[in-house]
Chain A
Amino acid sequence: DAKTTQPPSMDCAEGRAANLPCNHSTISGNEYVYWYRQIHSQGPQYIIHGLKNNETNEMASLIITEDRKSSTLILPHATLRDTAVYYCIVRARMDSSYKLIFGSGTRLLVRP
């Protein structure tokens, strides 16, 4: 699976958009980009995933560049409850394995 690079920490003001970048320059054609987050002391929580098109759900939007070498997770109106560690994971669509390799993630602090 491709390696991802994320900034170790970021902050944003409550109510503003939080844009979390992820670099995955070695991604291959069959690999998806997943985002999970981990709020303090809890288990990781799935946010969104995508292959090459931009995706949006009730939690966030995922913007993937045309060359697929990087992506951005957007929390449109960050709240204090969005303070968490955000993990960008690249994984191939597999038939028999669902291994997720978690990196160090980005620690997002939402300021009041």
Chain B
Amino acid sequence: DAMVIQNPRYQVTQFGKPVTLSCSQTLNHNVMYWYQQKSSQAPKLLFHYYDKDFNNEADTPDNFQSRRPNTSFCFLDIRSPGLGDAAMYLCATRRLGENEQYFGPGTRLTVT
């Protein structure tokens, strides 16, 4: 089945230790998104890619970077995680010309 896959589902990292979260999709969608969701909050958009065109939200901290080496894969790099970065990170995709976003299962990041 076509889907959005996120690995790992659970990630524990130490304060200040770089971490990379990955997302892959078999939907062949042009647009990919990274969201951060903290407990009892709505998802917050960090970045999105329209093909390789990268769009950063104005309030996304510099600590967060992203890479999209090809249509199928997208990575979220957190250079120096702080305790406040503990959250669920959600990847989503959208086909150009359509409106609904399809989400992966998320990676729950814990920072110790």
Q: Do A and B bind each other?
A: no
